[in-house]
Structure 1
């Protein structure tokens, strides 16, 4: 069981992350400060820095991938076809695209430095990725059990391939100023459908 100290720490971290997420959704990255995040979370600035080294770290953990992959990606529809799975993924993933491209670029450029100072930070991001892969893998397994996808297919490996496809497409979107969210959706949908068609 979690002790009182650990429980309080977890609650504080959740408050800070929720505060950061709220601010990053309504303000540009460069306009958000750690002071604002702490004030919005109703914690001291020192407390915020005690758990998170920078707003870049919080952006990636709260405003970035965990917002979708770790928490929001919940399949609301029964898995009855590959198209349903892809539509659910894209619907959740679109929330990442609501954040300005410049914010993503600034934050990702700080990722290497943050990981060098705090290796555990990189592991936290990897853990978030694993959550996404696990959810997709379970959905693929469900499709296999309904004989919609081939039982010979390794659903865990396919989920990793789907994640890689989505991630690389999103990275290109971030740095391709002219690409729209609609175009991004079409690209991801086409690639994922191709993957699932080949393996079905």
Structure 2
């Protein structure tokens, strides 16, 4: 990597760190790109050399957090209950989203949907992260079949697609419905798992 490329990457990183900090502190609507630039120590328009819009900046700022997934997944629970074995995998990939307050999470989800059209590369990268989670869950289902905790005829490929769909649905419901908290989100995901893994 050339010195110029290193400097650009460092500058982009500062902008992303400033954006994440301010979005978390002030929310999406109360944060301006001028504030982000000031926090990053760059000229006001510099952020737009790297990002086409404020929503794209929001998505990029949280993309690394979402890719990282937080702490490593701990040991598998000592149980024969498929729901209690599969749920930690889902929650491992999901908990980064519940750490974000709901108004900001709504904007993040809308930015992700908009990225499908506006920034297909970033959309694809984030979708690949979801597919890693889907793959981990499918491997877990296959292990459960091998241990005879699920029937040998259990359709793991179909089940993992339905599990993913149910989790996405519950996160959208969580983000856009008042009165839905993390406890209720977990409960609803576990209910769907119990239905799908029976």
Classify the TM-score, shorter chain: 0.7 to 0.9
The offset of 1:38, in angstroms, is: 4.4
TM-score, scaled to structure 2:
0.72
Question: What CA deviation, in whole Å up to 9, does each residue of 1:87-120 have, x standing for no partner?
Answer: 3533652441232322233444455555433333
- Aligned-pair RMSD on alpha carbons? 3.4
* C-alpha distance in 1 between matches for 2:143 and 2:10: 34
Moved more, 178-187 or 93-102: 93-102
Aligned to 1:117: 118
* C-alpha distance in 2 between matches for 1:5 and 1:60: 27
Q: Residues 20 and 58 of structure 2 are in contact (CA less than 8 Å); yes or no, is this contact kept in structure 1? A: yes
The offset of 1:174, in angstroms, is: 1.8
The offset of 1:177, in angstroms, is: 1.2
**Corresponding position: 1:181 with 2:164:** no
Unaligned runs of 5+ residues in structure 2 are none
The 1:115–1:192 alpha-carbon spacing in structure 2 relative to 1, beyond 3 Å, is same
Q: Residues 21 and 59 of structure 1 are in contact (CA less than 8 Å); yes or no, is this contact kept in structure 2? A: yes
Aligned to 1:139: 140
The 1:188–1:151 alpha-carbon spacing in structure 2 relative to 1, beyond 3 Å, is same
The offset of 1:165, in angstroms, is: 0.6
The offset of 1:191, in angstroms, is: 0.9
The offset of 1:80, in angstroms, is: 4.9
* C-alpha distance in 2 between matches for 1:112 and 1:89: 21
Unaligned runs of 5+ residues in structure 1 are none
Paired residue total:
193
Aligned to 2:69: 72
The 1:23–1:91 alpha-carbon spacing in structure 2 relative to 1, beyond 3 Å, is farther
* C-alpha distance in 2 between matches for 1:131 and 1:16: 27
Give the SS at the match of 1:31.
coil
